[in-house]
Chains A and B, each alone.
Chain A
Amino acid sequence: MSGVIKSSLARKYAMALSGLFLVVFLLQHFTINLTSVFSEDVFNEISHFMGNNPLVQFVLQPILIFGVIFHFFMGFVLELKNRSARAQNYAQNKGSANSSWMSRNMIWSGAVILSFLVLHFIDFWFPEMNYKYIESLPSDPNRYFEEMVHKFVNPIRVVAYVVSFGFLMLHLLHGFSSSFQSVGLNNKYTRGLKSFTIAFSIVIPVGFIFIAIFHHLNA
């Protein structure tokens, strides 16, 4: 059994399933962010719930962090292993003739997303942990919207976010549909599923970009 777990195919399933899990999280995060465009109160209410509900804080959040670390770690391990499968490279290799740029550069789009996550954690997650668990400041259900808008005043941060979402789009354009192929789903629904994944991969990052620019312009 341990041989099976270490097999190339098991690693493929692991990448696909952790990726799909992160896609679900992305949709949830986007939905909450989107409310900030329409209603300050709704955004505050949901943020307060997510930040204080014990199930979200102490069960879902650790699972999410594990999922993120696992996906990145596995991605880098696989990249190193795959690169070592061809010690001598070609003098001339025309990858563009047979595959998309996104599919050949998942490691780079992934690295940009990882850098973005570091910035995002510094911007939001660490201050939040500090507020709640280190300084144990009094609970304020109306602080979230103001804190978030304040972050998007700086145009450099907005540009960094927009660029990162661009790379997220490239990563999803290959990764989302690819994960279904990895777990063995390739049938009469594949074309429809692929169209859905392409639409999702464009709409969600563009939506995140819209929200960042919206708050920058309205700050």
Chain B
Amino acid sequence: MPIAFWLINYNMNLTLKIWRQANTTSKGEMVTYPIENVSPDMSFLEMMDVLNEQLINKGIDPVAFDHDCREGICGMCSMYINGEAHGPDRLVTTCQLHMRKFKDGETITIEPFRANAFPVVKDLAVDRSAFDRIQHAGGFVSVNTSGNTQDANNIPIDKHDADKAFDAATCIGCGACVASCKNASAMLFVSAKVSQYALLPQGKIEATDRVLNMVKQMDDEGFGNCTNTGACEVECPKGISLENIARMNREYLFATAKG
């Protein structure tokens, strides 16, 4: 161990207030856990791993939380940290959030993403399959893969449209938009999926059905209504723009007129 390490120890002692809930139907509560010697270079999930090791050693049930790739692209991590989805940093998921964003001695509140459409499975893990069902309702392009499929690159697409479609497609479906919205609205997510296809010629064929079916599924799942607060755009780890919601509103209007 280098001598400098012993001379300068930047590690932090923190207090964690974490939502504990045994299962979907049980009543949850906030439980306080002290944690010592947290390196500022840890990711938030690494810190949670350390906490869970300590809890297991003490014979306490570890805190359940969702995670997978830990590099910001899978959309699994989902904590509401100090009153914000994915914590105080911008354009990052919880796994990309580092402990250097917090101060020694700080109390950190950690809750699950809250919405009726996202029931808590256990502790900080929520069921976001409502998003999957919205996708199934129309978030796809029907392509004949019989072997005669044309190479997508043969279809000329305006560069601006391609860029906008790509930006919309970067949505990882984490649900931070729903968690941040005061109405628990899923419109940023749904609009990103609608826009991704609406902007491309491959998606135009099913555009009318897509937007009608996806919005219907969104409403059936019990998400709230959009009131344009813009919280979703600010908290989205992928920076999905509100422009997509306007596009969905437009698409829906035209699709309704078409019948």
Contact = CB atoms under 8 A, between A and B. Distances in A.
Contacts, number: 133
Contacts of A85: 115-117, 183-185, 222-224
B226 interface: yes
Nearest to B235: A98
How many of chain B's residues touch chain A, expressed as a range?
35 or more
Chain A CB within 10 Å — which of B19, B80, B109, B225 has the most? B225
A90 interface: yes
Nearest to B120: A88
A85 B115 CA distance: 6
A12 B225 contact: yes
A8 interface: yes
How many of chain A's residues touch chain B, expressed as a range?
35 or more
A136 interface: no
B104 interface: no
8 contacts: A13-B249, A85-B183, A91-B111, A92-B109, A93-B83, A94-B83, A100-B229, A183-B250
Interface of A: 1, 3-4, 7-13, 78, 81-95, 97-100, 103-104, 106, 174, 178, 181-186
Interface in B213-234: 215-216, 218-219, 222-231, 234
B246 interface: yes
Nearest to A78: B225
Chain A CB within 10 Å — which of B19, B84, B227 has the most? B227
A94 B234 contact: no
A9 B252 contact: yes
B234 A182 contact: no
A7 B212 CA distance: 10
B227 A184 contact: no
